[in-house]
Amino acid sequence: MRRRFFLQTAMATSLLALAGCGTTPKAAIGPTPPRPIKRPKRIVQLGRTRIDNYAWLRDANWAQVSRDTSLLNPEIRAHLDAENAYADALLAPTQARQDFYARQMMALTGTGAAPLAVPDGDWEYYTYVRPGEDHPVHARRPRGGGAEQILLDEQERARGHAYYRLAEATHSPDHRFYLWAEDLEGGDRHRICVRNLETGGITTTPNADAYGYNGVIFSPCSRFVFWIWRDPLSRPTRVYRRPVTGGADVLVYAEKDPALFMSVGRTASNRYAFIHILGPDVDEVRLIPAKEPTAEPILMEPRQPGLHYRVEDWDGDLIILTDADGAVDGKLMRASPGQPGRAHWREWVAHQPGRHIMEIRAFRDHFVRLERVDAKPIVTVTDRAGKDSTIGFDEPAYALSLEKLQEHDGSLLRLIYQSPRQPRQWLEQDMASGQRRVLQAESAGPGFSPDKYEIVRLDAPAPDGALVPVTVLMRKGTKLDGSNPLLIYSYGAYGISSEAEFSIPALALVDQGWVYAIAHIRGGSERGRNWFLEGRRFQKKNSYTDFIAAAEHLIAKGYTRRQRVVAYGLSAGGLLMGGIANLRPDLWGGIIAQVPFVDMLNTMSDADHPLVPAFRPDWGDPLADPEAYDYILSISPYENVTAQAYPPTLATAGIRDDRVSYWEAAKWVAALREHTTGKAPILFRINMAAGHQSAAGLSDQYGQMALFWAFAEQALDWV
């Protein structure tokens, strides 16, 4: 097998030479890897000095390059092209396995299920993917039956574009219009499209620079669109209002604090639109009454450091989910719409430590909260008489969510249930009677049966005694003799939990004899908000040691053995990959770092970065706080690469990514190659068209995961 890796294509040879690669001092596998020259940059900060040898890989014109990649510095482009050529050369022998995994994932996707319709008013709305296509169709039909009406054909919209991703799609409350935000370039800057469902005409704003995720809505009266604009540094800073039928934009709200994000939404009753200003340690809500869509937004409670709150309206009151007064896992308060400030909040559902309220939803006669207890989600339903009922499931690990579109005036609650071995099921719970039925269950291709698989939930002891939940998926009957290859995934940042969801890529891997594990490490919220806080800022290293503890526990229990473990993380989970590679390189058979946040100290020292001001509460401010500088320096993957044998590593990036910029992975890979004392290849692939995410089509998503799984297999052969 290894001899094949010494075959080098002419393209790879020429590109590597163009990048100025020298001969490697160690006997490496395959062709000579790119070795960018060192141009030491001396950085003095808070009385501290560091040297960055590869700082030149950041294009000085990066903000413009993310929009127009033709502006990329030719020397940097040559190096990135050489990296792709090197990765392609070493991964060429895995192409058959990549193709195999992609086919398996497509086969497991399943076809033929009728689209599940969501009723709303006189219509039923649904989406589906035509056989052989990548992107869904959005459609509706009359509620009593009738002809289908196509609202949006994503496949048609994506035709001719190298990249296409939809961020939002929704119908107007009066059902006369359909709105969506689409990205054609990969930079998360969306154009806004509105279709008149009576005439079929589409109005497009090509250069809106719209913030697409929870950033575009109809007003409750259906006469206006509220949307969020991103400034040249990609920060969501303004809310505009425009007539649905076209016309000038009117500024509704401008946010001057670069450390805050924004979203727009409507309450479930449609009585209010709202602007939500938020940051890691602050929330502020401004309400726009449905009867006065052009009125000045009403400030609910001014932002206060450490105070979080979200709002719904129900039973004549505003319902506030908040952590006020030490309610770290959340409590519910009530307030009169005429007196929405905190001084007038009245407690409704008391705080229960360890019972984390994650989401709230209002119906006419019931109020719903999605909670997490002992790392498992449950739903609690409250009726107007104040009686609670709970919805939970017996699987050792599962994921539960509320359907985004719900009929407010009805008594039927729609839930989406899934587990690592159970494809998504859409459940309908009658909140009045308690009866539940399965509306629809996704298939997973011919021959699939959940009974072929086993889910195990473990608790791995961390060095400080904390118990880290670990979810395991494997084929039933798998022998725990240490021989199994195992892939372990985690994210562990910003309070975002790694849910125990059904994953076709994971299933395809398990079908090839792998064990798949999810480590629910600190930094996420699987055990409540304190679980997040204990993996944040000056306790961030807990995320690294939790992940290592999870892997060691799996080894101790016989699920795998040392160097048969491949670790996988993306974005902030890529920071995790860099950290665990530095701490325990001997443990891993391979590392997959997708768009990894690994140049932590330099990025957090960049005041112009679109995300840095917002996430200083999570990571610290190395520009102003010596303690933060020292701590970030101690855990930043790039600065802590040392002379040791690193495992086979695959890093990826997107040239248009303005969240985790391409040079983070490029610099990290260069440092790894410079310092490693082993022979394992360090690979870097950069998508020269995409941003933080791949395109939304199934073939793009599965193609990337197939590459990861084929690399994981090959990595174990390289160790």
- Pick the catalytic residue from 571, 605, 636, 694: 571
φ, ψ at 498 (rounded to 5°): -90, 100
Radius of gyration of the chain (CA): 26
- Pick the catalytic residue from 657, 658, 661, 694: 657
Judged by DSSP in three states, 219 sits in: coil
Separation of CA 517 from chain center: 18
Question: Using the 8-state DSSP alphabet, how is residue 291 labeled?
Answer: T
Please say whether the beta carbons of 76 and 670 come within 8 A.
no
Q: Is 443 marked active-site?
A: no
- Pick the catalytic residue from 503, 599, 692, 694: 692
Assign residue 482 a region (left: φ > 0; alpha: ψ between -120 and 50; beta: otherwise): left
Please say whether the beta carbons of 619 and 600 come within 8 A.
yes
Closest CA to 85 of 156, 13, 183: 13
φ, ψ at 646 (rounded to 5°): -85, 150
Please say whether the beta carbons of 275 and 285 come within 8 A.
yes
Tokens matching residue 262: 């924004």
Crossing angle, helix 572-583 and helix 662-675, to 10 degrees?
Answer: 10
- Going by C-beta distance under 8 Å and a sequence separation of 6 or more, which residues neighbour residue 29? 2, 5, 90, 679, 680, 681, 718
Judged by DSSP in three states, 718 sits in: helix
**319-357 burial: b if 16+ Cβ within 10 Å, else e:** bbbbbbeebbbbbbbbbeeeebebeebeebbebeeebbb
Tokens matching residue 150: 């196509």
Please say whether the beta carbons of 403 and 373 come within 8 A.
no
Q: Is 661 marked active-site?
A: no
Please say whether the beta carbons of 680 and 719 come within 8 A.
yes
Q: Where are the beta strands (DSSP E) in 366-466?
A: 366-373, 376-383, 388-391, 399-402, 412-419, 422-430, 436-441, 453-461
Q: Is 459 marked active-site?
A: no
Active site residues: 571, 657, 692
